[in-house]
């Protein structure tokens, strides 16, 4: 039966496991063994992983795969992808090979501005607040110099600070809305440190502003925090070719393929139920690379989905058209990424992943990640509008089903051969396993 515990965080890792196993598991020996078998035998490496988060008890593995043959702006890449879902890496690889023979992917970074806000309550005359802000703004920047000095040496720092009146939404609610350039760092800690300094200066200087009444001097800081919505940190990725070059088999012409493909994109542009699944497929590619390179995929997800709703209705992130006989498929997407700081200099596999990508700058990584998302979406739509999504996906999922039934290597070989010419479903695989085992 579950029970509470005091001082859990102060226990050693082994003692934490002892308590968890004793409290929650019926097969205590098995639970203990599973948790400990994922520990790394290199104690120094295990300690590094233990210290990434709090209350670590073991490591949780995800497969790290690679998708080769990505031609991006005339440079070849092999892209690392950390993900658990069958067919994602295979689909990305297939799309990369398809476009390798048609000029590859073209990308460009549109902008790299990131946002942070100080949210505060002010009860008084807005004109006085505006006067105070205009007077104090240079000091907000000056008082942050100790934080921004190193970033400014590299060409980044604070871009601007605005006062925003949000009282139409919440009574007496205002913001200091600040924009930043953080270069190769994702910049969360930098931005948050600047914002907290802004808040401190703003609140303290309000107490000395003679124009304010006694009540107006009491500015109440609610919170100071960066935003993961980065609509001005944008990257564009696209592919294009002649319509007739889209076909690589005799089952469908390039023109028919392009027509159906564009119809599928158009549906995702207007139908939110489809758009969510459509964009989830894009994020299969994006999240896998973001995770492999030690970046925050939750932040990326939140910002991307907000961007997909920026016009008041959730819609497709990708778009397609035919113009003068040329098929073009593209996406503009907000991505706040870093190649320095965080896990990028700590996690050994992250360091390898970044080296695999030619040690990219943050801007280069934005472009690589966007391409992974576009490729994934192309592969999904190509399957959906031709053979159907399940044919390829279930064949990739076949090994997972076989592993669930602890199939031997000989059984895997026989059944894989069988499903080269038969439709893969869970029930069909179970039936095939049972028949094989009865025969043997």
- Whether residue 14 is predicted with pLDDT greater than 60 in this model: the reply is yes
Given phi > 0 = left and psi -120 to 50 = alpha, else beta, which region is 103?
Answer: left
| The pLDDT value given to residue 415 | 80
The rounded distance, in Å, linking the Cα atoms of 146 and 194 is 10
CA 406/CA 400 separation, integer angstroms: 10
pLDDT band with cut points at 50, 70 and 90 for residue 395? low
Average pLDDT of 404-433? 79
Percent of the chain with pLDDT over 90: 83
SS3 string, the chain, reads CCCCCCCHHHCCHHHHHHHHHHHHCCCHHHHHHHHHHCCCCCHHHHHHHHCCCCCCCCCCCCCEEEEEEEEECCEEEEEEEECCCCCHHHHHHHHHHHHHCCCCEEEEECCCCEEEEEEEECCCCHHHHHHHHHHHHHHHHHCCHHHHHHHHHCCCEEEEEEEEECCCCCCCEEEEEEEEECCCECCHHHHHHHHHHHHHHHHHHHCCCCCCCCCCCCCEEEEEEECCCCCCCEEEEEEEEEHHHHCCCCCCCHHHHHHHHHHHHHHHHHCHHHHHHHHHHHHHHHHHHHHHCCCCHHHHHHHHHHHHCCCCCCCCCEEEEEECCEEEEEEEEECCCCCECHHHHCCHHHHHHHHHCCCCCHHHHHHHHHHHHHHHHHHHHHHHCCCCHHHHHHHHHHHHHHHHCCCCHHHHHHHHHHCCCCCCCHHHHHHHHHHHHHHC
Half-sphere exposure of 262 toward its Cβ, with a 13 Å CA cutoff?
Answer: 16
Asked whether residue 135 carries a pLDDT value surpassing 70, the answer given is: yes
Active site residues: 85, 280, 296, 393
Q: How far apart are CA 146 and CA 142, in angstroms?
A: 9
pLDDT one-digit tens code per residue, 208-233: 999 999 999 999 999 999 999 999 99
Chain-centre distance for alpha carbon 112: 16
Angstrom distance (rounded) from CA 238 to CA 332: 9
For residue 389, pLDDT beyond 70: no
Alpha-carbon distance of 428 to 133, in angstroms, equals 69
Cβ-in-10-Å burial (0-12, 13-18, 19+) of 428 comes to middle
What's the pLDDT score for residue 392?
54
Helices 409-418 and 389-404: angle between axes, nearest 10 degrees:
160
Mean pLDDT of the residues in the chain: 94
Instruction: Please state whether 381 falls in left (phi above 0), alpha (psi between -120 and 50) or beta.
Output: alpha
Specify the residue for token string 């016009």.
Answer: 311
| Confidence grade of residue 432 (pLDDT, cut at 50, 70, 90) | confident
Beta strands 326-334; 318-323: pairing state: antiparallel
Looking at the predicted structure, is the pLDDT value of residue 122 above 90?
Answer: yes
Identify whether the C-beta of residue 76 lies closer than 8 Å to the C-beta of residue 334. no
74 vs 103, 174, 282, 433, CA distance in Å?
Answer: 8, 47, 23, 47
359 conformational bin, left if phi > 0, alpha if psi -120 to 50, beta if neither: left
Q: Give the pLDDT confidence of 165-198 residue by residue, as tens digits.
A: 999 999 999 999 999 999 999 999 999 999 999 9
Please give the pLDDT value at position 429: 82
Cα–Cα distance, 25 to 36 (Å, whole number): 15
pLDDT tens sequence across 16-57: 999 999 999 999 999 999 999 999 999 999 999 999 999 999
The residue among 355, 315, 316 whose CA lies nearest residue 339 is 355
The yes-or-no verdict on residue 440 having pLDDT over 70 is no
pLDDT at residue 1 tops 60: no
Two tokens, residue 199: 């808040």
Confidence of residue 363 (pLDDT cuts 50, 70, 90): very high
pLDDT band for position 391 (cuts 50, 70, 90): low
């Amino acid at each position: 039966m579950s029970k509470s515990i005091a001082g859990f965080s102060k226990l050693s890792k082994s003692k934490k496991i002892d308590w968890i196993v004793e409290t929650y598991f019926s097969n205590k020996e098995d639970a203990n063994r599973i948790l400990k078998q994922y520990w790394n035998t290199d104690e120094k490496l295990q300690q590094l992983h233990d210290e990434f988060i709090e209350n670590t008890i073991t490591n949780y593995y995800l497969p790290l795969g690679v998708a080769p043959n990505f031609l991006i702006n005339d440079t070849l890449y092999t892209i690392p992808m950390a993900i658990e879902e069958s067919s994602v890496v295979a689909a990305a690889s297939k799309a990369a090979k398809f476009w390798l023979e048609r000029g590859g992917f073209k990308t460009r970074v549109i902008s790299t501005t990131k946002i942070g806000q100080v949210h505060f309550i002010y009860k008084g005359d807005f004109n006085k607040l505006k006067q105070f802000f205009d007077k104090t703004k240079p000091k907000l920047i000056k008082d942050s110099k100790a934080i921004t000095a190193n970033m400014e040496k590299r060409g980044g720092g604070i871009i601007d600070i605005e006062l925003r009146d949000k009282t139409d939404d919440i009574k007496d609610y205002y913001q200091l809305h600040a924009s930043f350039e953080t270069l190769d760092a994702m910049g969360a800690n930098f931005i948050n440190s600047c914002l907290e300094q802004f808040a401190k200066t703003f609140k303290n200087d309000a107490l000395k502003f003679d124009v304010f009444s006694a009540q107006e001097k009491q500015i109440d800081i609610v919170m100071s925090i960066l935003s993961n919505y980065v609509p001005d940190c944008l990257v564009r990725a696209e592919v294009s070719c002649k319509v007739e070059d889209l076909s690589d088999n005799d089952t469908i012409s390039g023109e028919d393929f392009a027509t159906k493909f564009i119809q599928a994109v158009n549906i995702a542009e207007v139908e939110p139920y489809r758009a969510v699944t459509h964009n989830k497929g894009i994020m299969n590619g994006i999240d896998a690379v973001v995770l492999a390179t030690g970046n925050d995929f939750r932040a990326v997800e939140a910002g991307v989905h907000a961007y997909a709703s920026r016009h008041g209705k959730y819609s497709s992130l990708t778009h397609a058209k035919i113009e003068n006989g040329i098929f073009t498929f593209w996406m503009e997407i907000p991505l706040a990424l870093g190649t320095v700081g965080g896990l990028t200099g700590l996690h050994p596999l992250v360091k390898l992943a970044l080296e695999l990508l030619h040690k990219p700058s943050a801007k280069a990584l934005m472009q690589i990640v966007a391409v992974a998302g576009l490729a994934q979406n192309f592969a999904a739509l190509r399957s959906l509008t031709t053979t159907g999504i399940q044919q390829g996906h279930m064949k990739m999922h076949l090994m997972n089903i076989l592993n669930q039934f602890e199939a031997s290597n000989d059984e895997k070989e026989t059944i894989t051969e069988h499903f080269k010419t038969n439709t893969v479903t869970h029930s069909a695989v179970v039936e095939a396993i049972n028949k094989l085992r009865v025969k043997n």
